[in-house]
Structure 1
Amino acid sequence: MTTSVPTGPIPSASYPPPPRQTANPAPLRSVNSLRRTSSIDVAWPDGVDGQRLFVGRARDYLTGPDGTGRSLAMGEFSLRMTEDKTITQIAADPAPASIGALVGARAGGHLRMTLREIMPELIAQADPLYLVLDDLSGTALVSSFAWGQWFPERMEILRQRLGGGNEDNPVLAQRANVCWGLQEGNSGVTGDAALDKVADADAGQLRNPADPEGWHEFLEHEGPGFRRARRIDVTRDGNLIHIASAFQDSARLREGGRVAIHEYNLGATVDAETLEVLSLDPEARILPFRECPGAVHNVARLVGRNLGQVREDVLEMLRGPEGCTHLNDALRALADVPRLVEELRQPA
């Protein structure tokens, strides 16, 4: 990265407005490339007060030298979850033998530990199913954002709960220092940020009309809905691995289309032999609060580290207010890239 790290604190009010410009649609697939796409769609088939339906899908797609492609691997799960994030039922395809052990677990920080304990083979194989299971906790946390987009009256209730500008509000206090953008004193913690302006960016279309095979199929349903989507493009040029990835959280609008609350692009180069991270270039495209984009600066700490250890490094080096949880997840997802490079060697 070439961006310099700030040398001292910057007053929150002096920040420019947060970014509000999508990079969608996805670029056309390159020849001799491997694209991993993943999504978790959330719906409320029993009404907004009923259990949520989560459908996660991931796919590895190989594009050969002539531009034609084929699917190499896929993974999918469907589950139901209560308001307190308890998983009540789950099915997967292909289904690991231990998938049923997730019933009764809660989608929070400990879920990733549970996944490591009961499904280590998915991590070792860089299975696409693991990526969407690993993403479940973050999706469960953010997906309630969809309510306020489909039911504006619920956003008004939230505004009243947060008590705008009241720094003694206990709901706001719980958010302090959970991430870079919500550090103590920032607008998202003090209530200075207008909640009705937090999400006003057009999410665009993930699928490029000129490349319909560039994404897997998404869940189609009626009513409110949330989607977390990822794309990781991998190519190799001699001894260099090139990575171009994207991440977005979005919600359906009653009047049609989608609105996004989080979106990052992330580019990287890696030494193909040693897996040393040579460069990282994060780009904040859509974020809720004016302080949020500053999180990209600390990503430089990962340059020089081993890509295979990025999951552990992110949790150690970019924890809490040192990083953005959404950008951290985009970085952690790159741990599977060494396996994707191996898949590149397969004939198209």
Structure 2
Amino acid sequence: MDIERPRGHSDLLQLRGAGVDVVTDMAGEWSRTGGGAVDVDVDLGRGRIVTDIADGAAAADLTRLIGLSAASGFRKAAKGCLAPHHQGSVVARLLDDVPVATVISGYALTRELSAEQQLRLGGRGALARADYCAGFAAGGTMMTGVARDGAPPLVIGPQAPDLVRVGAGWHPMSELRPGSMRRIRRIDVSVVDDAELSVDAMFRDTYVNAAGIETVVHEYGTDVLVDSRTLTVQRLTVTPRVLPWPECPGAVAGAQRLVGRKVTEIERLVGSDFHGVGSCTHLNDLLRSLGDVSPLAVLLPGPDNSSAHV
């Protein structure tokens, strides 16, 4: 999902998302089995209100979301727009990313505006969210900076290594313009044997500076072993690759609560139980995406195939 501000820092936010489902055989040949796209315009000046929205495949009437917040309550409202057979689709996953894409768009401000300018845009509002997640821990690095300066400390992540390989099942992606951000995610499901599925999932958030250099803001990966018959999580390992604050990895251990639970339960469990300083908003997004293992597993015809949901 591309995150762009074509008219400045406090007006129009444009979110442009796309994805595909593919199946890959043992020879490395892949075939597309599904896909979708979502375009969302958000008015930041009016409190993150959705002003326009459409999906390229016309999978749902999303016009009911116009006028609603792109943050609080958006996911529930978006889910209500989708027919049962579109739950777990690419469009559903893209809609799920709208709230967090809206939130992380603020990272561009920390790279492009001074602390004084950020303060005028409501920088100290973050103080009201102390202990919201591991990175927002009261007394932690971020909150200390906000209390002192009115804005978070400047964080510049590592330069983004290549991730997308042409011909490997990824859909086409344009080069990001300076000042833009992107969330890119992947979930691969493959057959281990008659009893187990292997899941390799990740996401990466990046920002492109004025010189055209793309750096990583957040990146997590997770490896999961799932019972192929019951779709129960047997083993789960989370790898925090790039995170902005030293407190952020404190959320990783909490993911073990999903071991022994069905992937079809994960979205509900994360929504109800994964809150506070033992959680991470972005890790929660990755964990919720494991619910897509269920529809992806249906695409697996045998032990010599794997599916990628990009």
Does residue 88 in structure 1 map to residue 88 in structure 2?
no
Give the aligned partner of residue 308 of structure 2: none
Does residue 146 in structure 1 map to residue 108 in structure 2?
yes
Q: CA separation in 2, counterparts of 1:69 and 1:123?
A: 22
Unaligned runs of at least 5 residues, structure 2: 306-310
Does residue 202 in structure 1 map to residue 163 in structure 2?
no
1:144 Cα deviation after fit: 2.1
RMSD: 2.5
Match of 1:189 among 119, 143, 157: 143
Indicate if the aligned counterparts of 1:207 and 1:214 stay in contact, CA closer than 8 A: no
1:191-340 map, 5 Å? 191=145, 195=152, 197-208=154-165, 212-220=167-175, 222-238=177-193, 239-340=195-296
Identity of aligned residues (%): 30
Q: CA separation in 1, counterparts of 2:97 and 2:238?
A: 19
Does residue 44 in structure 1 map to residue 1 in structure 2?
no
Match of 2:38 among 74, 77, 82: 77
Q: CA separation in 1, counterparts of 2:82 and 2:274?
A: 25
Structure 1 residues 91 and 219: CA distance shift in structure 2, 3 A = farther
| Cα distance per residue 1:37-59 (max 9 Å; x no partner) | xxx10122234444121101111
Q: Which has the higher contact order (CA 8 A, sep 6+)?
A: 1
Give the aligned partner of residue 157 of structure 1: 116
1:171 Cα deviation after fit: 3.1
Q: CA separation in 2, counterparts of 1:225 and 1:170?
A: 24
Structure 1 residues 217 and 157: CA distance shift in structure 2, 3 A = farther
1:98 Cα deviation after fit: 1.7
Structure 1 residues 251 and 122: CA distance shift in structure 2, 3 A = farther
Indicate if the aligned counterparts of 2:53 and 2:65 stay in contact, CA closer than 8 A: yes
Indicate if the aligned counterparts of 1:162 and 1:172 stay in contact, CA closer than 8 A: no
**Matching residue's letter, 2:90:** P
Indicate if the aligned counterparts of 1:250 and 1:262 stay in contact, CA closer than 8 A: yes
**Matching residue's letter, 2:208:** R
Structure 1 residues 324 and 54: CA distance shift in structure 2, 3 A = same
Does residue 131 in structure 1 map to residue 93 in structure 2?
yes
Structure 1 residues 160 and 50: CA distance shift in structure 2, 3 A = closer
Q: CA separation in 2, counterparts of 1:205 and 1:277?
A: 30
1:319 Cα deviation after fit: 1.8
* TM-score normalized with structure 2 length: 0.88
Match of 1:178 among 132, 143, 160: 132
| Cα distance per residue 1:228-259 (max 9 Å; x no partner) | 11111110122111011111111111112211
1:62 Cα deviation after fit: 1.1
Q: CA separation in 2, counterparts of 1:100 and 1:195?
A: 35
Q: CA separation in 2, counterparts of 1:65 and 1:172?
A: 49
The alignment of Structure 1 onto Structure 2 pairs a total of residues equal to 298
Instruction: Give the 3-state SS of the residue equivalent to 1:202 in structure 2.
Output: coil
Q: CA separation in 1, counterparts of 2:154 and 2:43?
A: 28
Indicate if the aligned counterparts of 1:43 and 1:223 stay in contact, CA closer than 8 A: no
Structure 1 residues 99 and 277: CA distance shift in structure 2, 3 A = same
1:92-107 map, 5 Å? 92-107=55-70
Indicate if the aligned counterparts of 1:175 and 1:189 stay in contact, CA closer than 8 A: no
Give the aligned partner of residue 297 of structure 2: 341
**Matching residue's letter, 2:199:** I
Give the aligned partner of residue 55 of structure 1: 16
Q: CA separation in 2, counterparts of 1:104 and 1:159?
A: 26
1:116 Cα deviation after fit: 2.3
| Cα distance per residue 1:146-183 (max 9 Å; x no partner) | 2343x2xx0433676799xxxxx953421301112212
| Cα distance per residue 1:81-122 (max 9 Å; x no partner) | 111211111221111342111111111130011022222425
